[in-house]
Structure 1
Amino acid sequence: MGGRGVELDRSVPALLFKVGRYPLHQGSVGAVRSLGRVGVAVHAVVEDAFTPTALSRHLRGRHVWPTTGLEDPAALIDRLLWIGRRLPARAVLVPTDDEAALLAAGAQDRLAECFLLPKIDPDLPADLADKRGLYRRCLAHEVSAPDTRFPDDREQLLFHARELGYPVVVKNLAPWDRLRAPVVPGTTLVRSERALLASVGAPRGVLLQAYVPRESAQDWIVHLYAAPDGRCAPVFTGLKLRSWPPHAGVTTYARALANPGLARRSARLCRAIGYRGPADLDWRLDLRDGRYKLVDFNPRVGAQFRMFETDRGLDVVRALHLDLTGRAIPTGVQREGRRYVAEHLDVAAWVAYRGRVGVARPPGYPPARGGLEPAWLAWDDPLPAAATAVRALAAAVRRCGR
């Protein structure tokens, strides 16, 4: 459970921050445990006092602030600074969603009064989290990506969908849109023109992406930390095996698997664009042409980051704290085969996948080993799992009622 050789500066606290109301956020609980277990005082912005994050025994301070994403960004920064001034010392800021990461990067000079955060081009995270911006970056740096179209009206929507062919993937364009004016609830696989018109009321604000059939694909995850000198360490790689909703949603079951070529490709892209800080990249290997295609670049800590750690106990959140407090990031080898499961979602995913994994497995796929990292259940921190079970059950009852 501990750092096993990773020594963090315990005099420097950390504050976790996200925007929007989604209390069942496994990345926040993982970050609290990662830093809290090695003695760092962790504070977190939470929706209410009974979220899983708020109930973790490793949390030193909870700051109840139910944001929606509809607020004026300047007001969000003001409130964040208000919290920062009440912390015992200047803290490492850990954004755990895209909106928080974009907000922090854009206001990094103001936030430096109370927080430590990576120095980065203020516009770069927004450009990477925006699907149009990411696609342009891929083209500019000769990085493969799924064939993508950006319709401006209904006529272009239908034309581009026919051009790409059904089924086609529909996504919201920009991070803030999913909170303020979502066109689709998330990544949506549309199988016909009728379903497309039913799903997309106003074409502006969405993109269409060519679908790579699941039987011809592998979904790979890369989590890394990019230091100020451009070096990326650590760089972790893993394979997404199930998701919810099936084949298009968040990771519910995955395994850490070494993929040195993909690790080098991801680090090279970060150096080329000048990225700094933690990142979560989603790549889809198209087995039909053998190319890894970049699907998402999340400029922050990924929700399933605790799947990855080195043999010395280093993960990307600990790397962030080490770097921002002036400590060296130790080298190490990725713990191979380590599994991750988001319990509250993987039950439904397991049923949908009929107990199987959802992608073609690579040659030489090793047997299960390396340990299991549940998103919620931890023997030294049981309350987050209990809170998650209660909230997930309540949500299921409400859905059944509707």
Structure 2
Amino acid sequence: GVPVEIYSSSRVSVTGCSRYIRGAHACPPMTDARVFIDWLRARLVTGAIDLVVPTSDLMLFYLTCVYDVLSPAMQAMLGPPGAIADVLFKDRFYQRCVALDFTTPRTLLPTSRDEALDLASSLTWPIVAKPRSHIAVGLARGQLARNIDELAAVFVPFEIRPDCAFVLGDHPALRWPMLQEYVPRALGNLFSVSGIIAPNGSVVAVSGARKIRQWPPALGVGTLFESSSEARPIDIALRIATGLQQRGIFEIELIYDEANARYTVIDVNPRAFGQIALDIARGNDLPWLWYRLACGETVPSRSAPADNMNWMHAIPYHVGALIGIARGPGRRAALGSYRDVLREQHVDIVNTIRDPLPSLAFAARMFRHPVGLVRAFWKG
């Protein structure tokens, strides 16, 4: 297998519990941007670190900060810094989509509360107020506003971490949310297209999936995906990925807008993503393909991935399903649907009998705040 070394600032790292890890080391916290960037640069220069797989927006951003000392192979796998910024910063992403004629939800980019309230009348309610990036603002997620009063309450500037204040030099509007129309019945029509693109721009692997459940229910991360071979969203996503000069692992999220009978792109993740285990289980081992490409190998395009496979974020999925059955309405139908899911073949975000220790550590983290886990589903 691939020799993997991990670095963590936590005393107990979920990944560090894995039996597949060759070595675990300490590093500065990623929340201390200046210190972490200096540490990463030093390790890259000395050769202590050879390759870094981008597994979060923040890690990918830090790689652009040390781009000049990355190996040519790493630079080729990441793509041009400008193309990376185009997808890490969502205001730039939507502007690029408009320029390339890709359909997006109607989006506004106000830089004050007064401007947001003035512009909101041009959109259709409800409206989503969401971060322009997760760089410097942490894990803040979008909030749904159903009227002008709710928008006034949620449209507040994000607190920029002091260590990341330097980002405002190039992105001064980062502290303000962006506004976007909410596509009705989004959850029933949300597609994820993922894969990997070689440094020369060729598509090595691609697959589609449909998001079935998410947490929190209105706007949140997926808890259940099912494999999909629907050609139209895959074709659109590939045109978006190549148009935005993506390289390496990617995931593109699209919604089928029933009212306008078209697919709308809502996000691009230019990195490893939460449900990547589904790609691996279907035959597209994206981390392994990334490693081979980063080592300079020529990797032929993969055949169509296997179907009839689900991915599950087990803890929030089961909590949400059981609360839905308890709350009603339609308890019998909800129970039948839950049973059907349990009968189907699936892989989990982390839980596997082949490597149980990370599963236990991950579950312990998930249950640290059980009230918050339950509240989102109980409120609906």
TM-score in terms of structure 2 length: 0.81
Give, in angstroms, the shift of residue 221 of structure 1.
0.5
The size of the alignment, in residue pairs, is 345
Amino acid at match of 1:165: T
**Contact 1:84–1:114 (8 Å) recurs in 2:** no
Deviations 1:281-337 (A, max 9, x none): 1111111112111111111111211111476x3322122111111223242221112
Counterpart CA distance in 2 for 1:384 and 1:87 is 28
Go from structure 1 to structure 2 and tell me whether the alpha carbon gap of 1:208 and 1:308 turns closer, same or farther (over 3 Å shift): same
How far residue 106 of structure 1 moved from its aligned partner, in angstroms, is: 4.1
C-alpha contact (below 8 Å) 2:156/2:176 kept by paired residues: no
Match of 1:79 in 2: 39
TM-score w.r.t. length of structure 1: 0.77
Instruction: Decide whether the 8 Å contact of 1:125 with 1:299 is kept in 2.
Output: yes
Alignment equivalent of 2:31, drawn from 56, 63, 69: 69
Q: CA deviation at 1:353?
A: 5.1
Instruction: Write the letter of the residue equivalent to 2:291.
Output: H
- Structure 1 position 318 matched with structure 2 position 280: no
**1:310–1:333 contact (8 Å) kept in structure 2:** no
Q: Which residue of 1 aligns with 2:6?
A: 44
Identical columns (%) = 25
User: Counting helix residues as a fraction of each chain, which structure ranks higher?
Assistant: 2
Q: 1-side partners of 2:294 and 2:242: how far apart?
A: 19
- How far apart, in 2, do the equivalents of 1:265 and 1:396 lie? 39
Contact 2:214–2:220 (Cα < 8 Å) also in 1: yes
* Pairwise CA distance, 1:156: 1.8
Q: Given residue 38 of structure 2, which amino acid in structure 1 is its aligned partner?
A: D
Q: Which amino acid aligns with 2:22?
A: R
Instruction: Give the SS at the match of 2:137.
Output: helix
Q: Do residues 191 (structure 1) and 165 (structure 2) align?
A: no
Residues 1:159 and 1:118: Cα distance change in structure 2 (over 3 Å):
same
8 Å Cα contact 2:278-2:311 kept in structure 1: yes
More relative contact order in 1 or in 2 (CA 8 Å, sep 6+)? 1
CA contact (8 A) 1:212 1:286 kept: yes
What value does the CA root-mean-square deviation take over the aligned residues?
2.9
Question: Is the contact between residue 84 and residue 115 of structure 1 (CA under 8 Å) also seen in structure 2?
Answer: no
Contiguous gaps of at least 5 residues in structure 2: 159-174, 331-339, 375-380
Instruction: Provide the rounded CA distance (Å) in 2 between the counterparts of 1:117 and 1:353.
Output: 47
The offset of 1:260, in angstroms, is 2.0
- Residues 332-371 of structure 1 aligned to structure 2 (within 5 Å): 332-351=303-322, 354=325, 371=345
Separation (CA, whole Å) in 2 of partners of 1:222 and 1:116: 24
2:255 is the counterpart of 1:295: no
User: Which residue number corresponds to residue 172 of structure 1?
Assistant: 131
2:157 is the alignment partner of 1:202: yes
Distance in 2 between residues matched to 1:399 and 1:134, nearest whole Å: 31
| Separation of aligned partners in 1, 2:233 and 2:72 | 37
**For residue 98 of structure 1, what is the aligned residue in structure 2?**
57
Q: Which amino acid aligns with 2:362?
A: T
Spell out the pairing of 1:203-352 with structure 2 (5 A cutoff): 205-214=176-185, 217-309=188-280, 313-330=283-300, 331-351=302-322
SS in 2 for 1:137: helix
CA distance in 1, matches of 2:288, 2:39: 26
Query: Whole-Å Cα distance in 1 between the matches of residues 156 and 75 of structure 2?
Result: 42
